[in-house]
Structure 1
Amino acid sequence: MRTALIVYGGWQGHEPEECAAIYRRWLHEDGFSVRMATDTTAFADPAIHDLSLIIPIFTMSKIAKEEVENLTRAVQGGVGLAGHHGGMSDAFRDAVEYQFMVGGQWVAHPGNIVDYTVDIAKPDDPIMAGIKSFPYTSEQYYMHVDPANEVLATTTFSGEHAPWIEGVVMPVVWKRRHGAGRVFHSTLGHQAKEFEVSEMATILRRGINWAARDEQV
């Protein structure tokens, strides 16, 4: 059986507990054994090296040196890492090792909650299969991203709230490798109600399953 750890906490505006409950339900339905933790000390546990998947939901906050070192080693060794929005890509702002692993860091969301379009960049990828470009209402994340990411979906900034970025095409969903580990991220999902958007939920659920390491023998 594949095994997953969800570590949630940090800034409460992103509803980490509610999002963690959705992930837990999905993972149970998809045949995972799931453990939940509410403190970053869980990342320092040597046992995480035996997991299939880790999902961080911990906007901002701090992570201790031994915690981030153990977490990044686990992913380099083959444990999958996946998650969404600021719970993954605006976590631990002072931990560059963590950002290197994730493949991106949030820096702005001009206009706060806005209407925008999510465009599919790789329709032939299994994570995106059958999904067409769709409208979305949320924070439109402006990211600093790793050019090594395999970008699956993008959004284009109108420039309405920051004229100097008009026309900028920004990654919204990507996957990547970090050592032997698979990493998946979607910037969608400011609050738990956004999981009700079928395209967002389908992409995210497929992505976490893609990232997860196969059952250990």
Structure 2
Amino acid sequence: MVRDAIVVRGGWDGHVPVQATELFIPFLRERGFAVRVYSDLDVYTDTDRLAAADLIVQCWSIGTITDAQAAGLAEAVRAGTGFAGWHGGIVGAFQHTTYHQLTGGVFIYHPPGFVHHELTVVPERAGHPVVADIDSVRVHTEKYWVLTDPLNDVLATVTFDADPADPADPAGAGSSGTPWQQPVTVPAIWTRNWGSGRIFVSTVGHKLDDFEVPEVRLITERGLLWAAR
């Protein structure tokens, strides 16, 4: 049985929405999905089209979504359509309350540039199909600080080390960014349910070579399949 997937991509080109989604379209087709690509958010107001979709993969950053588009997307997911994405393409997409309620998180800040850091799988969630047999992932990319819904099922986290302010730079304006007075751990990968629909979010994926890390690629592929109806 062929399943139906929608890829919605656009917005800020710095997150290479076309190239990034093209990495996963062949994978979805190999797994039995018919895939159609949209570069217009008006698809989110097409009730029949969304209802037919088993999965929506979104990579759209720093954009504007209308109330009607956000409501259409949220209702489709509530009815059972899966929703998935990575990095700014899903948590840095739109400033809209309905959309934030849907995704369960919003990007707020990352330290300047790309930094070496580790994603740590939450031990209690080690058996989840998205992260099974993966304990941690080493990456060199943007390190996202996000605000999230406590009802998310957090699968992996990232920790910001304590970085007390330099007395000569109390605002933390130097290369280290805003200082934390003690280590802070925030979600990096999570899933959630919205009505009958499933949602997968990963904060990794600013650049194409992020997906050359085998664990990142595997987690993302598994997340897409997990979210699908």
Give the TM-score normalised by structure 2. Answer: 0.90
Report the CA distance shift for 1:194/1:134 in structure 2 as closer, same or farther (over 3 A).
same
- The root-mean-square deviation of aligned C-alpha atoms, in Å, is 1.1
Work out the number of aligned pairs and report it.
212
**Residue segments in structure 2 that go unaligned for 5+ positions in a row:** 164-175
Report the CA distance shift for 1:12/1:54 in structure 2 as closer, same or farther (over 3 A).
same
1:165 offset after TM fit, Å? 5.6
The answer to whether the 8 Å contact 2:119/2:156 transfers is yes
The one-letter amino acid of 2:44's match is: F
CA distance in 1, matches of 2:206, 2:139: 11
**Residue segments in structure 1 that go unaligned for 5+ positions in a row:** none
Q: Tell me whether 1:73 sits opposite 2:89 in the alignment.
A: no
**What does residue 171 of structure 2 align with?**
none
CA distance in 2, matches of 1:165, 1:135: 24
1:111 offset after TM fit, Å? 2.8
**What does residue 220 of structure 2 align with?**
204
The answer to whether the 8 Å contact 2:21/2:59 transfers is yes
User: For 1:163, what is the secondary structure of its paired residue?
Assistant: coil
Q: Tell me whether 1:105 sits opposite 2:106 in the alignment.
A: yes
Residue of 126, 129, 132 corresponding to 1:129 = 132
Q: Tell me whether 1:83 sits opposite 2:68 in the alignment.
A: no
Alignment of 1:1-217 (within 5 A): 1-46=2-47, 47-93=49-95, 95-121=96-122, 122-160=125-163, 161=176, 162-164=178-180, 166-213=182-229
User: For 2:94, what is the secondary structure of its paired residue?
Assistant: coil
- Using the aligned pairs only, state the percent identity: 37
Cα deviation digits, residues 90-143 of structure 1 (max 9, x gap) = 1111x1101110010000002331111110112111111111212111110000
The one-letter amino acid of 2:191's match is: K
User: For 2:191, what is the secondary structure of its paired residue?
Assistant: strand
Which one has the largest radius of gyration?
Answer: 2
CA distance in 2, matches of 1:102, 1:165: 29
Structure 1 moving runs of 4+ over 4 Å: none
